[in-house]
Structure 1
Amino acid sequence: MNCIQRPETDRPAWFVYIVQCADGTLYTGITTNIARRITEHNSSAKGARYTRSRRPVMLVYRETCRDRSEASKREYAIKQLSPTRKRTLVKASEKGFSAIYFPSYSIKGQ
């Protein structure tokens, strides 16, 4: 298995990721294997319908989550953001800031 194993369990880590498409738009998804998923977005029918006509895509953001449920909730929260807020999140991560410093990006109820 190519995915990262969490030390406390044998289950793979889940990631929320954002890719930038060739047309400049952003796509958010979840996976246990980012390299495989980016390859799928760029070269196979398994890539999301949205990204198939906007290739190539480039990874611009990722977060590690405890499990699929947490990743899905975080994906939903990010998808609710405006494109401007998503770009702010991406830029903050490029500067080494964590999403934890942006309370408005947190999952509701947590």
Structure 2
Amino acid sequence: MGNKLNGCSIESWYLYIVETKLGHWYTGITTDVKRRVAQHESGKGAKNLRGKGPLKLLFEYPVADKSTAAKLEWQVKQLTRVQKERFVASKGATANDAIKSLMVLTASS
């Protein structure tokens, strides 16, 4: 699924947010959003989501590498529910400075 650089495979990473049938939001990172959501729905993903499907994918954002993806995930998880709702509705445009800096790094990579 990744790109090639000097003959080596480079995987693209994604930040994603899903909503459970009960309206709870879950934020994660992966190299394949479609596969990961399917894993969550089949009970093979995060324990936090087992039995809480069907899931609705609310947001996904490409990230340059795993390190940046993990940092971005942590920053998004620090947001309140209202802040996350604004973040998703604006497709990331209403992010705080820390999140914007990680998103800019991704866009320029």
TM-score (norm 1): 0.80
Deviations 1:2-59 (A, max 9, x none): x2x2365631100010001100110000000111101001013x21111113111111
Note the 1:65-76 alignment, pairs <5 A. Answer: 65-76=63-74
Identical positions, percent: 33
Report what 1:13 is aligned to: 12
Gaps of 5+ in 2: 103-109
| Secondary structure at 2:99 match in 1 | coil
| Secondary structure at 2:48 match in 1 | helix
**Mean alpha-carbon deviation: is it higher for 53-62 or for 67-76?**
53-62
Q: Work out the number of aligned pairs and report it.
A: 100
Gaps of 5+ in 1: 94-98
Tell me, in whole angstroms, the C-alpha distance in 2 between the residues paired with 1:60 and 1:35.
12
Tell me, in whole angstroms, the C-alpha distance in 1 between the residues paired with 2:53 and 2:75.
25
Report what 2:31 is aligned to: 32
Quote the RMSD (CA, aligned, Å).
2.1
| Secondary structure at 2:11 match in 1 | coil
The one-letter code sitting in structure 2 at the alignment partner of 1:6 is N
- Retained in 2: the 8 A contact 1:78–1:105? no
Structure with the largest fraction of strand: 2
TM-score (norm 2): 0.80
Q: 1:60 to 1:105 in 2, by over 3 A?
A: farther
The one-letter code sitting in structure 2 at the alignment partner of 1:57 is L
